């Protein structure tokens, strides 16, 4: 598993196919509610340049932060650098594709990636992926994510042809930045933790997925079982959602 997480949602574009082929995961009222919410809070679809311009800056955070906007296409490891892991539960595959190599065809219409660090904690990075979609798609994807969180509490994965399996534990997390919905905040916010592996060396990842109109903003941190990943910085989450709201206004 790469220590620098890829943006956590593009892989969910492939999830409808998994839902259709897995009897244990079905779209339900949550999907209908998400569609209604998307209509009520629909934002303007952003171009790649507009999405990049909407990325949070150090000035937005009032000092004490370093923000690095990554060059286009560098939000994850180079193609072929990491082998794709396959889940023993097909419905849980999007979780693995979200944090490692996935389906290259499952991509948002526009994407920008950045990292944030605080001067007071330079070794603790926050990874941010801004993912732009056609109208209504972001809400549908977030609804699908909620379904995966409800049904993939524990599963295993492996690399085809390579011995050994990795155990994963997935759980919903409370969001300290849960200021939604508000005029300047997100339309919806989903938080989760993922622990991959066993023992003190297990990889811990924490994420918040904020939907702002047609964009999903994914905030991720990384840690270990001994030092679990911390919650994404609430100030950074709020500042980024405000910029995305303004960009779609």
When computed from its CA atoms, the radius of gyration of the chain, rounded to whole angstroms, is: 17
Contacts for 148 with CB less than 8 Å, ≥ 6 apart: 12, 15, 25, 91, 92, 94, 95, 170
pLDDT in tens, 51-65: 999 999 999 998 899
Indicate whether 75 pLDDT > 90.
no
Give CA–CA dist 151/209, Å, rounded: 18
What is the model's pLDDT at position 23? 31
What is the model's pLDDT at position 17? 34
What is the average pLDDT across 139-147? 86
Please report how many Cα atoms fall inside a 13 Å half-sphere around the Cα of residue 90, on the Cβ side: 12
Joined together, the tokens standing for residue 249 give 């206004």
pLDDT in tens, 108-129: 889 999 999 998 887 789 999 9
Contacts for 11 with CB less than 8 Å, ≥ 6 apart: 93, 94, 97, 98, 102, 103, 106
| β-strand partners of 205 | 194, 222
Residue pair 204/229 in contact (Cβ under 8 Å)? The answer is yes
Joined together, the tokens standing for residue 218 give 């994914």
**Domain spans of the chain?**
10-247
Torsion of CA 88, 89, 90, 95, to 10 degrees: -100
pLDDT class for 74, splitting at 50, 70, 90? low
Joined together, the tokens standing for residue 51 give 């999405």
User: From the centroid of its chain, how far is CA 169?
Assistant: 16
pLDDT class for 95, splitting at 50, 70, 90? confident
User: Is 226 exposed, middle or buried (CB count within 10 Å of its CB: 0-12, 13-18, 19+)?
Assistant: exposed
Give which of 9, 41, 11, 19 is closest to 135, Cα–Cα.
41
pLDDT class for 2, splitting at 50, 70, 90? very low
pLDDT in tens, 14-48: 333 333 333 333 344 444 444 444 444 578 899 99
Tell me whether the omega of the peptide bond preceding residue 19 falls within 30 degrees of 0, making it cis.
Answer: no
Do the strands 215-224 and 65-69 form a parallel or antiparallel pair, or are they unpaired?
unpaired
Joined together, the tokens standing for residue 91 give 């419905």
CATH match of 10-247 with 3.40.1000.70: yes
User: Is 145 exposed, middle or buried (CB count within 10 Å of its CB: 0-12, 13-18, 19+)?
Assistant: buried
What is the model's pLDDT at position 178? 52
How does DSSP classify residue 46?
P
pLDDT in tens, 157-215: 999 999 999 999 999 987 655 555 555 578 998 889 999 998 888 999 998 989 999 99
What is the model's pLDDT at position 225? 86
């Amino acid at each position: 598993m790469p220590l620098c997480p890829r943006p956590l949602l593009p892989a969910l574009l492939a999830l409808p196919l998994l839902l259709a082929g897995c009897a244990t995961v079905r779209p339900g009222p949550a999907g209908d509610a998400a569609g209604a919410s998307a209509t009520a809070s629909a934002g303007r679809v952003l171009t790649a340049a507009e999405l990049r311009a909407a990325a949070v800056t150090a000035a937005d955070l009032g000092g004490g932060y370093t923000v690095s906007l990554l060059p286009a296409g560098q939000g994850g490891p180079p193609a072929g650098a990491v082998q794709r892991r396959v889940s023993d539960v097909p419905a849980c595959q999007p979780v693995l594709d979200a944090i490692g190599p996935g389906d290259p065809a499952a991509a948002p219409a526009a994407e920008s990636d950045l990292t944030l660090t605080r001067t007071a904690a330079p070794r603790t990075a926050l990874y941010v992926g801004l993912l732009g979609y056609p109208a209504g798609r972001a809400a549908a994807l977030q609804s699908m994510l909620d379904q995966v969180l409800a049904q993939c509490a524990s599963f295993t994965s492996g690399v085809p042809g390579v011995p050994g399996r990795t155990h994963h534990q997935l759980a919903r997390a409370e969001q300290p930045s849960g200021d939604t919905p508000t005029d300047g905040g997100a339309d919806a916010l989903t938080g989760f933790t993922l622990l991959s592996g066993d023992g003190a060396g297990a990889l811990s990842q924490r994420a918040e997925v904020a939907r702002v109109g047609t964009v999903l903003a994914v905030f991720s941190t990384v840690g270990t079982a001994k030092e679990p990943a911390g919650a994404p910085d609430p100030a950074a989450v709020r500042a980024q959602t405000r910029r995305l709201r303004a960009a779609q206004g």
